[in-house]
């Protein structure tokens, strides 16, 4: 089968489109014919080797943490799935990923794919959806009626956090560049504002807020200023660097390390099928062009969430 792999860490040029053996499912594993994976910023960090200590991968490595595809073969002790089922998964970070014609997935990571989107676009959901869910409901413990500021709201994770928060009955202030504003209003954000002027403080955007969620990689000094946007007794949750706590005001803080969870992913899929969560796919690119896609991501040329189509 065809797969995209890298044999050493480095720039996008280390990615090679190769012929490799098709894997066979072991106990508890499912062989999935890949329809698509997607690009996540962490793919770039893994390929560059900057996460080698945190995520101990084996080289050569197939990137692609997201999976949308069709069940091709079941390993021993796998129940509740049949060959031909359309599935999605967040694959384990330390094993072969979805940039291949076939991939092995742990059965418990799989959820039925949404019925209301094309299968390839469903690859936009797993990692970002789980990151959004875990940030909003596990770290921030978001409740109906709360005020929430989402920084980086137009991005892949942020757009899903906005929609989950609106769906949960929160009042959302969405922060991102103007080109995302119409979509964020459409998601139901109460207020949409441009990038924060951190010197102006929270009152300039109607804060402070009971919950502040951050998806923008900024300096430690800027992260520290975000603490001021959290109301007394509130919480800051971040996927992109740690916002300091303020114990004197009862402000706590939590950082995400997203984990795969098939049951949680199934709840996200149900929201997609119920029309309560929309996937925003900016581009579809062929897997054979993955090196160019990584190059574009590194140069800031991606226009949004990009799914990567298997051959």
Ligand X SMILES: NC(=O)c1ccc[n+]([C@@H]2O[C@H](COP(=O)([O-])OP(=O)(O)OC[C@H]3O[C@@H](n4cnc5c(N)ncnc54)[C@H](OP(=O)(O)O)[C@@H]3O)[C@@H](O)[C@H]2O)c1
23, 25, 155, 202: which one contacts ligand X (CB under 6 A)? 155
Assess 175 for contact with ligand X (CB under 6 A).
yes
Nearest residue (CB) to ligand X, 116 versus 179: 179
Q: Contact, 70 vs 87, CB < 8 A?
A: yes
Assess 34 for contact with ligand X (CB under 6 A).
no
Non-local CB neighbours of 229 within 8 Å, separated by 6+ positions: 149, 196, 202, 205, 207, 208, 209, 212
Non-local CB neighbours of 154 within 8 Å, separated by 6+ positions: 174, 176, 177, 179, 180, 183, 184
What does the DSSP 8-state code read for residue 29?
A: E
Assess 253 for contact with ligand X (CB under 6 A).
no
Assess 178 for contact with ligand X (CB under 6 A).
no
Q: How far is the CB of 302 from ligand X (least distance, A)?
A: 7
43, 66, 176, 261: which one contacts ligand X (CB under 6 A)? 176
Residue least distant from ligand X (Cβ)? 155
Q: How far is the CB of 124 from ligand X (least distance, A)?
A: 10
Of 25, 48, 27, give the one whose Cα is nearest residue 294: 48
Q: Which two tokens stand for residue 83?
A: 């060959």
Assess 256 for contact with ligand X (CB under 6 A).
yes
Assess 154 for contact with ligand X (CB under 6 A).
yes
Q: Which of residues 102-131 bind ligand X (CB under 6 A)?
A: 128, 131
Assess 213 for contact with ligand X (CB under 6 A).
no
Q: Contact, 209 vs 190, CB < 8 A?
A: no
110-112/86-90 β-pairing: antiparallel
Nearest residue (CB) to ligand X, 33 versus 280: 280
Assess 173 for contact with ligand X (CB under 6 A).
no
Q: Tell me whether residue 279 is exposed, middle or buried, using C-beta atoms within 10 angstroms of its C-beta: 0 to 12, 13 to 18, 19 or more.
A: buried
Q: Contact, 175 vs 193, CB < 8 A?
A: yes
Assess 156 for contact with ligand X (CB under 6 A).
yes
Of 30, 18, 100, give the one whose Cα is nearest residue 65: 100
Total chain residues near ligand X (CB under 6 A): 25
Assess 306 for contact with ligand X (CB under 6 A).
no
Give the interface with ligand X as residue ranges (CB under 6 A). 40-42, 128, 131, 151-152, 154-158, 175-177, 180, 195, 215-217, 239-240, 256-258
């Amino acid at each position: 089968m065809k797969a995209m792999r890298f044999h050493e860490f480095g720039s996008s040029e280390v990615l090679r489109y190769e012929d490799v053996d098709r894997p066979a499912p072991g106990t508890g594993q499912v062989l999935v014919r890949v329809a698509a994976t997607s690009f996540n910023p962490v793919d770039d960090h893994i390929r560059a080797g900057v996460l080698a200590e945190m995520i101990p991968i084996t080289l050569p490595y197939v990137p692609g943490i997201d999976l949308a595809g069709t069940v091709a073969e079941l390993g021993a002790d796998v129940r509740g799935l049949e060959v031909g089922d359309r599935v999605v998964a967040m694959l384990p970070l330390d094993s072969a990923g979805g940039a291949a014609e076939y991939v092995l997935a742990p059965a418990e990571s799989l959820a039925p794919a949404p019925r209301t989107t094309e299968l390839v676009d469903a690859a936009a959901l797993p990692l970002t959806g789980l990151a959004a869910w875990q940030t909003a409901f596990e770290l921030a413990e978001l409740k109906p009626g709360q005020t929430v500021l989402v920084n980086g709201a137009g991005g892949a994770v942020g757009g899903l956090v906005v929609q989950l928060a609106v769906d949960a009955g929160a009042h959302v202030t969405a922060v991102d560049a103007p080109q995302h504003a119409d979509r964020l209003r459409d998601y139901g954000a109460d207020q949409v504002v441009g990038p924060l002027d951190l010197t102006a403080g929270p009152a300039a955007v109607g804060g402070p807020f009971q919950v502040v969620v951050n998806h923008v990689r900024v300096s430690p000094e800027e992260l520290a200023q975000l603490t001021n946007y959290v109301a007394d007794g509130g919480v800051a949750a971040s996927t992109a660097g740690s916002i300091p706590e303020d114990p004197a005001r009862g402000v706590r803080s939590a950082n995400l390390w997203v984990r795969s969870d098939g049951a949680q992913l199934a709840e996200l899929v149900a929201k997609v099928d119920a029309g309560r969560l929309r996937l925003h796919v900016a581009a579809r690119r062929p897997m054979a062009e993955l090196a160019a896609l990584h190059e574009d991501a590194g140069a800031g040329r991606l226009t949004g969430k990009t799914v990567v189509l298997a051959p």
